Structure 1
Amino acid sequence: MAVTNPAGFWRRLLANLLDAIVIGIPISIIGYLITGSAEENWFTNLVELLYALIVPAVWYGYTVGKRMIGIRIAKVNGGKVGIGTMFLRLFVGGLVYVITLGIGLIVSAIMVAAREDKRSIHDFIAGTYVTTEKPTV
């Protein structure tokens, strides 16, 4: 299956910013109330991790921010993204970015901006892309 209607850099960035505002801030406030720490804490990290892994897997590739913008994560082969796919996107992709000291992240941003299919390094690792197409349920 081919990559169709890929979402570009600005839409993806806006969706991530909306996730940070709509999901991240409330989780941080709840984390502060539970742990008493305004800094990063175990609760905030755990809930944000579970959100990033589980929500796209059960909600057809959407997160709250992506849904607001009208984009979602899809597998290139046409299958539904699952926990394993999201693990590859988040952890293995993130590991590449850490090992390359952030250079991989910059390369990924350039790839999304310049490539016709708008796929980044973590998309290639997980076999995914971000699209504007609605899921076939």
Structure 2
Amino acid sequence: MEKAYRKGSDEDERPWAVTIRFGGEVEGRELNRDFRHKDYATNVLSFVAEEDMPESDEWYVGDIFVCTPVLVREAAEQDKPLAHHLQHLVVHGLLHLVGYDHELSEKEAEVMENLEREILAEMGLPDPYADNEEDPR
């Protein structure tokens, strides 16, 4: 995660924190519907921390929600190790927290996907987009 944060963020070197939470399909669907107006459970959601957080030496970046049933189903469908898919989704979520948004344009999607590939390669993981058209959107 440190690699994803440092590559994706232009923040200073101060310590940072993020919460990663796992939940079920009902909660994932509710969160996706309430915050993105999409009525289905998605694999990962990111919530940027409020700007009016108390002053701290540590920068609280935000929250990442992983929908466990979707994570497990996608890993099986894509014939990927569960741990690899989870790491990809966490990197993807963290990049959202530091400002990347693949839904803005095809160019932004390409930038974000290339950054994901680079970070995951540095972690010793394969290209998550190789041999499939699925992505964590």
Shorter-chain TM range is under 0.3
The structure that is strand-richer by fraction is 2
Q: Which has the higher helix share?
A: 1
The alignment's TM-score, normalised by the length of structure 2, stands at: 0.27
Calculate the TM-score normalised by the size of structure 1: 0.27
Structure with more relative contact order (C-alpha pairs < 8 Å, separation 6 or more): 1
